[in-house]
C-alpha cells in the first residue's frame, strides 16, 4: 500500500503471521527484489496467563528527537525482558511532518524490530503543517492496529489481549475529528461496553491520551480543578465495567491518583488512574498546580520519564522511572 503525505510517497507493507506457536522463538526478515533486511528474532508469548513486563512511554512529541531516542534506548536496555511497548499518544509534535515521523521511528530502532508496538493516537497526530486540525492521515497509515469493526473510525481505537490482560485503546480526539466526521465518542461508548463485556480476561486496562482530570493552570485562576470532558464521558463506564487500570497522558506530568470510584478517591473500588508523564523534549515546567486527587507527583521541574507495567497472576504493578533509572513511584492493583 502506498500513501502520500507531506509531499512524500511512502510504501507501507503489512504481513499477518498466522498459525504461530506460543512460547516459541522465530526469526523474520523483510525482503525486496534486490535487498533484504537483517534477520530479527521474535518470541511469541505463552498462551493464557503468564507473568510479563511491558514498557510504557508518555508523549514523545519533540522539536528534536534525541532525548526521545536516548530514553527509548535506555529503557529498553534496562528492561530487555519487555514483551512489547506502548506510546501514550502525541507520538510526534506535528502529525503531518514526515521528518518527525522518521525521527520517531529512528529513535525506537532496534526495539521496534524486536518487540511489538501498541500506539495510541493523540491530538498532535491530527495537526497539519499549518497547525490546523485535519484527520490523522499519517498515523492511520503507519500503524496497522487490530480492526474495531467501525465503518467510520477504523484504527482510531482498538483492543488486544496479551496474557491475562485485555488492553483497550480509546481515542480522546472527538473535539478534533467532529468537524470532519462526527460520532467518535458515541461510537466508542457503545463499543467499549460491548468489547469489555465480551472479554474473559482477568485484567482490563484502558489506554487513552487525554487525561480524566482537569488541572488548574498557574496564572489562570478561572480554570477550576475537577473532572475533564474525557473523565465525564468515560469514568462512569470504567466503574461499571470493572476496569482495573487507566493510563492517560497529554499533560506532560507524572501523577498517581490512586483508585477513583464515582469520580472520587476510593480505597477499594474503581480503577487505578496514572497520568504517565513526558518522554520527549516538550516540557511544561510550573504549568499545572496540584489536584486534590494527586497522591504522587514527579519531582519538579520534570525531566522525561518512562514506566513499566508488570503483570502477574495476582497483580498489576506500574513503576515510574526517571531517565537515569531512578524509581520515583510504584503503584499496584491486586485481586
Query: 288 near 251, Cβ under 8 Å?
Result: yes
Question: CA 329 to CA 277: how far, in whole Å?
Answer: 12
The two beta strands, 52-57 and 85-87, are parallel
CB of 249 to Fe ion, least distance (A): 7
Query: 78 near 141, Cβ under 8 Å?
Result: no
Binding span for Fe ion by CB under 5 A among 85-93, 159-167, 230-238, 289-297: 85-93
Exposed e or buried b per residue across 143-154, where buried means at least 16 C-beta atoms within 10 angstroms of its C-beta? bebeebebeebe
Query: 157 near 191, Cβ under 8 Å?
Result: yes
Exposed e or buried b per residue across 16-52, where buried means at least 16 C-beta atoms within 10 angstroms of its C-beta? eeeeeeeeeeeeeeeeeeeeeeeeeebeebeeeebeb
Query: 230 near 122, Cβ under 8 Å?
Result: no
Relative orientation angle of helices 98-107 and 66-78, to the nearest 10 degrees:
30
**Which residue number places its CB atom closest to Fe ion?**
250
CB of 250 to Fe ion, least distance (A): 4
Q: Which three cell numbers stand for residue 159?
A: 483492543
Binding span for Fe ion by CB under 5 A among 29-37, 66-74, 87-95, 166-174: 87-95
CB of 279 to Fe ion, least distance (A): 12
Is 90 among the residues that bind Fe ion (CB under 5 A)? yes
The two beta strands, 25-28 and 40-43, are antiparallel
Q: Which three cell numbers stand for residue 324?
A: 537515569
Task: Count the site residues for Fe ion by CB under 5 A.
Answer: 4
Of 60, 62, 69, 123, the residue at the interface with Fe ion (CB under 5 A) is: 123
For Fe ion, the closer CB: 122 or 231: 122
Is 176 among the residues that bind Fe ion (CB under 5 A)? no
Relative orientation angle of helices 184-198 and 229-241, to the nearest 10 degrees:
20
For Fe ion, the closer CB: 123 or 214: 123
For Fe ion, the closer CB: 59 or 329: 59
CB of 93 to Fe ion, least distance (A): 10
Question: CA 155 to CA 162: how far, in whole Å?
Answer: 19
**Contacts (CB under 5 A) with Fe ion, residues 237-256:** 250
Q: Which H or E run contains 234?
A: helix 229-241
- How many CB atoms neighbour CB 209 within 10 A? 28
Q: Which of 181, 163, 172, 160 is nearest to 124 (CA)?
A: 172
For Fe ion, the closer CB: 112 or 282: 282
CB of 133 to Fe ion, least distance (A): 12
For Fe ion, the closer CB: 23 or 179: 179
For Fe ion, the closer CB: 173 or 319: 173
Binding span for Fe ion by CB under 5 A among 48-56, 89-97, 195-203, 292-300: 89-97
CB of 122 to Fe ion, least distance (A): 4
For Fe ion, the closer CB: 282 or 297: 282
**Contact flags string 93-122 toward Fe ion, x per CB under 5 A:** -----------------------------x
Q: Which three cell numbers stand for residue 279?
A: 518522554
Query: 204 near 240, Cβ under 8 Å?
Result: no
Is 67 among the residues that bind Fe ion (CB under 5 A)? no
For Fe ion, the closer CB: 275 or 307: 275
CB of 254 to Fe ion, least distance (A): 15
CB of 209 to Fe ion, least distance (A): 6
For Fe ion, the closer CB: 90 or 304: 90
**Contacts with Fe ion, residue ranges (CB under 5 A):** 90, 122-123, 250
Amino acid at each position: 500500500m502506498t500513501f502520500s503525505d507531506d509531499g512524500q510517497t511512502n510504501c507501507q507493507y503489512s504481513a499477518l503471521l498466522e498459525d504461530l506457536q506460543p512460547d516459541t522463538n522465530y526469526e523474520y526478515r523483510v525482503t525486496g527484489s534486490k535487498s533484504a533486511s537483517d534477520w530479527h528474532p521474535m518470541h511469541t508469548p505463552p498462551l493464557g496467563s503468564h507473568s510479563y513486563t511491558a514498557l510504557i512511554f508518555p508523549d514523545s512529541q519533540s522539536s528534536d528527537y534525541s532525548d526521545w531516542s536516548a530514553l527509548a534506548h535506555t529503557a529498553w536496555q534496562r528492561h530487555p525482558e519487555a514483551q512489547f511497548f506502548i506510546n501514550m499518544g502525541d507520538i510526534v509534535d506535528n502529525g503531518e511532518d514526515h521528518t518527525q515521523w522518521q525521527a520517531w521511528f529512528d529513535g525506537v530502532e532496534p526495539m521496534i524490530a524486536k518487540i511489538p508496538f501498541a500506539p495510541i493516537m493523540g491530538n498532535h497526530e491530527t495537526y497539519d503543517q499549518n497547525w490546523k486540525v485535519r484527520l490523522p492521515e499519517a498515523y492511520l497509515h503507519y500503524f496497522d492496529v487490530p480492526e474495531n469493526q467501525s465503518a467510520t473510525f477504523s484504527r482510531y481505537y482498538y483492543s488486544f489481549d496479551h496474557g491475562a490482560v485485555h488492553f483497550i485503546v480509546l481515542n480522546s480526539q472527538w473535539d478534533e475529528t467532529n468537524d470532519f466526521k462526527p460520532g467518535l465518542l458515541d461510537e466508542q461508548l457503545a463499543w467499549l461496553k460491548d468489547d469489555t463485556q465480551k472479554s474473559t480476561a482477568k485484567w482490563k486496562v484502558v489506554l487513552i491520551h487525554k487525561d480524566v482530570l482537569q488541572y488548574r493552570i498557574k496564572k489562570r485562576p478561572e480554570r477550576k480543578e475537577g473532572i475533564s470532558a474525557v473523565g465525564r464521558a468515560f469514568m462512569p463506564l470504567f466503574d461499571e465495567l470493572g476496569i482495573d487500570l487507566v493510563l492517560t497522558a497529554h499533560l506532560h506530568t507524572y501523577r498517581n491518583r490512586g483508585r477513583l470510584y464515582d469520580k472520587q478517591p476510593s480505597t477499594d473500588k474503581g480503577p487505578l488512574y496514572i497520568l504517565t508523564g513526558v518522554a520527549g523534549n516538550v516540557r511544561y515546567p510550573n504549568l499545572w498546580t496540584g489536584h486534590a486527587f494527586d497522591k504522587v507527583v514527579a519531582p519538579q521541574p520534570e525531566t522525561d520519564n518512562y514506566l513499566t507495567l508488570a503483570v502477574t497472576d495476582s497483580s498489576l504493578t506500574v513503576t515510574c522511572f526517571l531517565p537515569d533509572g531512578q524509581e520515583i513511584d510504584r503503584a499496584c492493583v491486586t485481586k
